[in-house]
Structure 1
Amino acid sequence: MTTCNKDEKKGKREKTFFCETCNSAFSQRSHLKDHLNIHTGQKPFSCEVCGCSFSKKSNFNRHLRIHTGEKSFSCEICKLSFSRKETLKGHMHNHTGEKPFSCEICKYAFSQRSHLKDHLTIHTGEKSFSCQTCGCSFALKKSLKRHVRVHTGEKPFSCEICGTCFSQQANLKNHLTIHTGQKPFSCETCGCSFSRKESLKRHVRIHTGEKSFSCEICESSFSQQADLKRHVRIHTGEKTFACEICDSSFSRKETLKGHMRSHTGEKPFACEICGSSFSRKLNLNLHMHKHTQQKLFSCETCGSSFSLKEDLSIHMRLHKAFSCQICGFSFTHEASLKKHIIIHTGL
C-alpha cells in the first residue's frame, strides 16, 4: 500500500525558486516574480476603477472585490459575508471567544490582529495621522477621519426615523434611544435610568458630591460643567441672551425664556388647588406655601415665620425701627418719624 506524507496530501510543492535578495523561497516561478516587485517597487497590477496599483496579483484581486461587492466567504453561524478569507477567520473569533493576539507589554488580548496594532499605539504614544487643517495628531487613522468632519461639517450618519444627521456613529446611536425609549444606563444608588452613559456619569455626581469644575476667579465648585459656565457670567457680566422685543439681556437662556412670558402673557404654571396661574415656576412655588401653610422665611430676631419673602421684609421693619432721638419713641416708617419730630420742634 502506498502512503503519502502530509505535504503530499495538501498538494504542496517543493520550494525551488529563491529570491536572490532576501532568500525567500517559493514553489512557483510566478510567486517569485510577484515577490520581486517588493524589492523593485514595481506595481504592475492597476485597478481600472480607481487607479490603485499593486505589486502582487493576489492583492490586486482582493482589492477588486471592493468595487464589485463580491463577498465569497460566509460565516456559517451568523451568515455574515466577507470579501477576504482572512477577515472571515478573524470574525470567527467573535463566536469562539478566542483572542490569539496578545500585547507583550500589558498582556491584553484581542480577537483581531488589527485591534492589537491599534492598541500598541497606547504604549508607544505614536500619533502618525495628522490633520492638515489644524495640525491635531492621532494614533489611529479612523480617529483622524472622525476628526476631519469637524472641519468639513460632514454628517454621514442619518436617523431613519426623523432624518437628523450626525458626524459620529456613536452620536447617532445615542440619538436613537430618544425614539426607542431605551435607557440602558441605571444609577446603582437611586435606580434612575438614562439613555446615555455621559448622562449617568453626570447624575452620579449628585450622590457622590463630586464637584470637578471650579471657578478660577472665586474658586466656587460645581458638579456640572454647564453650571460652571453659567456661574462665570456673574464675574464677566456677559449677557448673551437678548429679548428681541424690549432689548433686555440675560446671562441665562432659562431667564430669557421666563422673561418672554411677560410679553406674551403666557402663564404655564398652574396651581392644582385653586387654579391660579403664574409665568414663573418660582412664583408658583411661593404661592403653594399659602395652601401648605409652609413658612420657610424666618425672622432671625424674633423667630416669626412667613410663607412669603415679601412678608418677612415687611415684618423686619418692626426691628429696624426709626427712633426719635429726643424721646426715644420708635416708628416702623420714616415718614411717621418725621411727623412725630414736629411735636418737639414745632416746625
Structure 2
Amino acid sequence: METYAKLKPYSCEVCTLSFTSSSDLKRHVRIHTGEKPYSCNVCAADFSDHSNLKSHMRTHTGEKPYYCEECGSAFSHSSTLKVHLRIHSGERPYSCQVCEHAFSEYSSLKRHMRKHTGEKPFSCHLCSSAFAEMSILKEHMRTHTGEKPYSCNVCASTFSHSSSLKVHMRIHTAEKPYSCNLCEAAFSDNSNLKNHMRRHTGEKPYSCEVCDSAFSESSSLKKHMRTHTGEKPYSCQICDAAFSQNSSLKNHMRKHTGEKPYVCLICNSAFSQNTSLRNHMRRHTGEKPYSCQVCDASFSQANTLKIHLRTHTGEKPYSCEVCQAAFSQKANLKIHMKSHARALGKKCKSEKKSKV
C-alpha cells in the first residue's frame, strides 16, 4: 500500500481516487466542481479539459488526423478510430449479461439493455409516447412537425425517415432485394415479403374484434372494420358518392371520366374495371370456374351461379309491389311489371271511353 501511495501521491478530497501528477488531480476535481475553463471561440461549448476542447474544435475545422490503415477511413477522434477498428478485427468486448449478444461499442450495449429492462428514457413533450432511443424520438417528432428532410434526387418525393427514402429509391432502380424462398416472387421492401409469406403459411395474425374474420395484413383488417363502422372516408369530388376503399373510389371515377384502361387483346373490347375484363375473357377461353354443388352445371361468372342456385333453393328475392308475385331474377320482375303497366293503360283508355 505504501508503494502504491508513492506512485499516486495526489489524492482527491471528495472521492477516493489518487493520481500521479497534480495536473491530473486538478482536471479530476473539475468533475466535482463543474468548472469548465476552456471555451470554444466558434460556438458556446465549454470544457473541463483542454484536450476535450481540442477534439471539439475538429467539428468546426473538419480535421480528421486519425487514419485506419485497413480501409483508409479518417476520424477526428482517436477513440472513434479505436471503435472503427473493431469492424475489421471483429472484436466485441461489450457483452450482454442477460442474453448472448455482444457489441463493439458500449453505447450499443446500453441501448440493447433497454430491450430487457423496458426502459424508455426519451419522451415526446407533445404526446405520451416514449422511446428507448433518442434517434427514434427524433423520427417520431416529425409526425408532429411534418418535417420531411430526406428528398429523392429523381422525383420530387420527400420523406420523414431515411429508411423510407431508401425503399422509395427502389421504385426508380427496380431493385427487389427481398426474395421468397418458396416461389419466384421478389420485393423491394422486407415488410411486403413478410406479408407475402403468409400466403404460403396461411397465417392470419390480424383478427376482427367484432366478428370471427382474420387477415394476413393489418391494412386488410383496417378495410374490413369499415364494414362494421360504416366509415366511408373516400369521397367523390363530382357527385355525393363515398366509399370505404380508395380502389372503389378509383373505379367509380371512371364512370365520370369514361376511362377504360383494361383492354381485351383478342377483340379490343375495353373495360373500366379489371374484374370486368377477366369475366369477358372467359367468353374467349370458355372457362367456367364456378360450379354448382347440387348439379353438374358450371358458369363463367359468380353472379350467374348465384342466380342458378335459386332453382334449387326456390328463393325468389324480387317481389312485385303491386301484386304478390315473386321472382328469382330481377330481369323477370321487370318483365312482369310491364304487364301491370299495360293493364293500367287499358284501364285508363276504357275510363276515357265511358266518360265520352
Q: Which of the five TM-score ranges fits, normalised by the shorter chain?
A: 0.7 to 0.9
Within 5 Å, give how 1:181-330 maps onto structure 2: 181-299=174-292, 302-308=295-301
> Which of 115, 128, 133 is the aligned partner of 1:122?
115
> Which of 67, 71, 85 is the aligned partner of 1:74?
67
Q: Report deviation, 1:15.
A: 4.4
Question: Which residue identity lines up with residue 200 of structure 1 in the other structure?
Answer: L
State the secondary structure of the residue aligned to 2:136: helix
> Which of 89, 93, 102 is the aligned partner of 1:100?
93
Change (3 A) 1:289 1:80: same
Q: What do you get for the CA RMSD once the two structures are aligned?
A: 2.8
The answer for the alignment partner of 1:33 in structure 2 is 26
Q: Report deviation, 1:69.
A: 1.6
Question: Which residue identity lines up with residue 252 of structure 2 in the other structure?
Answer: H
Change (3 A) 1:164 1:316: closer
Q: Is 1:162 aligned with 2:162?
A: no
Runs (5+) with no aligned partner, structure 2: 1-5, 317-328, 341-356
> Which of 127, 145, 153 is the aligned partner of 1:152?
145
The answer for the alignment partner of 2:36 in structure 1 is 43
Change (3 A) 1:289 1:31: same
Paired residues of 1:103 and 1:116 also in contact (CA < 8 A)? yes
Q: Report deviation, 1:114.
A: 1.7
Change (3 A) 1:142 1:303: same
For residues 173 and 321 of structure 1, what CA distance do their matches in structure 2 show?
56
TM-score of the superposition, structure 2-length normalised? Answer: 0.80
Question: Which residue identity lines up with residue 227 of structure 2 in the other structure?
Answer: I
Percent identity reads 50
Paired residues of 1:44 and 1:54 also in contact (CA < 8 A)? yes
Tell me how many residue pairs correspond in the alignment: 317
Q: Report deviation, 1:266.
A: 1.4
For residues 304 and 23 of structure 1, what CA distance do their matches in structure 2 show?
94
Q: Report deviation, 1:174.
A: 1.7
For residues 182 and 321 of structure 1, what CA distance do their matches in structure 2 show?
54
Q: Is 1:59 aligned with 2:52?
A: yes
Paired residues of 1:35 and 1:56 also in contact (CA < 8 A)? no
For residues 40 and 300 of structure 1, what CA distance do their matches in structure 2 show?
88
Q: Report deviation, 1:240.
A: 1.8
Would you tell me which structure has more helix in proportion to its own residues?
A: 2
For residues 46 and 272 of structure 2, what CA distance do their matches in structure 1 show?
69
For residues 238 and 217 of structure 2, what CA distance do their matches in structure 1 show?
32
